[in-house]
Amino acid sequence: AAALPTCSTELLQAAECYEQSGILRDQLDTILPGNFSQDAQRKVLDPAVREAFAQIILQIRDVEAVGIARIEKALGRAGVS
């Protein structure tokens, strides 16, 4: 945002999207640990756990799509393609 002040609004909004994406990513570890422990292996067998995990993944996808669109808009405004 500091490098392209005319695009700072979109870039700051994109940064917020990626911050939200990180928060969502942290939630994945609470649903299903990524350490391949016995507990994680047991949890992955539970359809409800897999559904909750998948829902967070979809939220991450959607948030990052908005972030990408905001970056593209900023770059377009700056004349960068």
pLDDT in tens, 20-65: 999 999 999 999 988 889 999 999 999 999 999 999 999 999 999 9
User: What's the pLDDT tens digit per position in 10-28?
Assistant: 999 999 999 999 999 999 9
Spatial contact of 55 and 63, defined as CB atoms under 8 Å apart: no
pTM of the model: 0.85
Sign of the four-CA dihedral 4, 9, 14, 17: positive
pLDDT for residue 81 is more than 70: no
